[in-house]
Amino acid sequence: MADQTFKNVINGELVDSASGETYDVIDPTTGEVYAQAARSGDEDIDRAYAAADAAFEGWGYATPQDRSNALLKIAQAIEERVEEINAVECKDTGKPVQLTMDEEMPYASDHFKFFAGAARLLEGKAAGEYMADHTSWVRREPIGVVGQVTPWNYPLLMMIWKIAPALAAGNTVVLKPSDTTPASSTLLAEICQEFLPPGVLNVVCGDRDTGRALVAHKTPQMVAITGSVRAGMQVAEAASHDLKRVHLELGGKAPVVVFDDADIASAAEGIAGAGLFNAGQDCTAATRVLVQAGIHDEFVAALAEAAQGMPTGLPDDEATYYGPLNNANQLAHVSGMVDRLPDHASIATGGARKFDRGYFYEPTVLSGLQQTDEQIQTEIFGPVMTVQKFDDEAQALAWANDVQYGLSSSVWTKDHARAMRMSRKLDFGAVWINTHIPFVSEMPHGGFKHSGYGKDLSGYGFEDYTRIKHVMSFIGE
């Protein structure tokens, strides 16, 4: 058994699970156990929710300024300890150390700073006399205790996407990180305790059963998850039993539509970068490329070449563009998708595991797939990009929208009017034009259809963690 144990954070303290049970945490670069984490059960979840409930009145009634100041201090603490946080995140996930420091860590503090500002800028309808002799106004209030479940692809950032708006709005939180990546979540929760009253932010580690119990518990008024479509449906169903609010950021299958006037070299480089970043384990990954017939063959070759220049490897290797897949099941899922390639399709590059241990998979480009193939319809969530050939705008649009998902998309063209037409008709919560994957704290992230509902980031995400109350007063003539 490994020495290190990731503990729960409940009511301001680091604690073992009530049962004392733990489970193994695996290093995905080796497939070997490197730590343990608390396996939380009903008693732990009861304790965490009781702490969050008790803390709610104080935190919910704290002034926006006080909440904002606490979040700013957390942002500063993250900046002061960023090397340590980055090292913990990379050990837990196998992400490349320098790239993660450059591409992910700056957002960790920036999101807190943004929501610290948002806490002081609640918006609502103007107070006024909407009925004679009566004044109405709107109070925007925190919802209460919120239960949150976060995924393994960006453990730190996805936790911050969830907790920063919730805390800024005055809610208290019980969060469960993915069972495979508890490290940075427990560290961040520990860091936050210096700046938050006890019970405001609680983290319980555990597996799917822990997550199910967290969602089904009677205390939270809202549950928010980032996860698979299946998990989202289970959460929505469980939450329906007592009408909790639900906030779901689920899967994606982003279409990347490349028209024949696009700059082939820069599009191929940008799309490979956005398809392979984080081993393609990103719900917005540039994974489903649609290329106009006139440049199709040239583009497949350019994309394959660009992908070969973005290798997988060990976290400390500076040449590494992305690390391993998160776990053995995910490796089997990704490999299976490629191994089951239909005869009409082919592999332009990659298509195999790399190294004889860990969960590494080569950068892979598949071409010749048809719209009904599982590789087109089902989320792969790995370093695999598919390419389909389309004839015209109408066909590109029809294929782009013909999936169950609706999270993100991109269009690559020099024709501004075409880009505008496409962005109107693409049925996705985000449309990038001549780029793919960047995000900012100020803009909303969230999908349509089976990608879920509710927004992360932005003022919209902040409002999702508030409720609206109408107050009307008789004022006389």
* Residues lying near ligand NCCCC=O in the complex (CB under 6 A): 153, 282-284, 437, 439
Q: Find the shortest distance in angstroms from Cβ 154 to ligand NCCCC=O.
A: 6
* Residue 72 or 437 having the CB closest to ligand NCCCC=O: 437
**What distance, in Å, lies between the first and last C-alpha atoms of the chain?**
76
**Lookup: tokens for 94:** 């196998």
Q: How many Å apart are CA 194 and CA 109, to the nearest integer?
A: 16
CA 408, chain centre distance (Å): 13
Q: How far is the CB of 222 from ligand NCCCC=O (least distance, A)?
A: 20
Helix (H) / strand (E) element for 17: namely: none
Asked if 307 and 301 touch (Cβ cutoff 8 Å), the reply is no
Q: Strand pairing of 466-474 and 134-142?
A: antiparallel
Catalytic hit among 80, 84, 237, 249: 249
d(CA 454, CA 475): 37
DSSP code for 125: P
Active-site residue, 249 included: yes
SS3 content of the chain, % helix, strand, coil (to 5): 40, 25, 35
Q: What is the DSSP-derived secondary structure letter of residue 124?
A: -
Q: Which positions ≥6 away from 374 have C-beta within 8 Å?
A: 337, 340
CB of 284 to ligand NCCCC=O, least distance (A): 4
With H, G, I as helix, E, B as strand and everything else as coil, classify residue 245: strand
Instruction: Report how far apart, in Å, the C-alpha atoms of 466 and of each of 107, 166, 266 are.
Output: 23, 8, 42
Q: Closer to ligand NCCCC=O by CB, 283 or 385: give it.
A: 283
Residues assigned a catalytic role? 249
